[in-house]
Amino acid sequence: MSKQVLYRRKVFFYETDAQGIVHHSNYPRYFEEARGFFLEEFGFPYHRVREELNVDIVLLELSVRYKQPLFFGDSFFIKTVLTKMDRFFFWFEYTVEREGKILATGKTKHCCIDRSTRKTISIPNQIKELFNGQNR
């Protein structure tokens, strides 16, 4: 499975602590931004998933491994890779890089829920096709 997208970003001052280092709590936010960009790049932005399919994509698991810090003003990118998908779940891996150095890595696991019932559902065919590359 290995669909990959690069998301570029810059560190803003409000994301840093008193030493000018990105606070650890921002990395899950960066991953969320990168996932949203991933969907956009494959032609199915999250607002369409919600409106057209009546589905929410739910985060079930999250892990982050911090290796080196990001600082205020740094430009960096996040490589987002869809690594696995089955009937109900899909997984992403993230690599945060600046100037060829890996600064952090992460993983997330997701499922889809019906927005009306709030119950877990099988991944809709439109999303499966998207992830399998039939829409790109």
The token pair at 33 is: 């931004």
Q: How far apart are CA 112 and CA 115, in angstroms?
A: 9
In terms of C-beta distances under 8 Å and separation of at least 24 residues, what long-range contacts does 20-23 make, across chains too? 20/71, 20/72, 21/69, 21/70, 21/71, 22/69, 22/70, 22/71, 22/72, 22/74
Which residues are marked as active site? 17
Angle at 121 between CA 89 and CA 4, to 5 degrees: 35
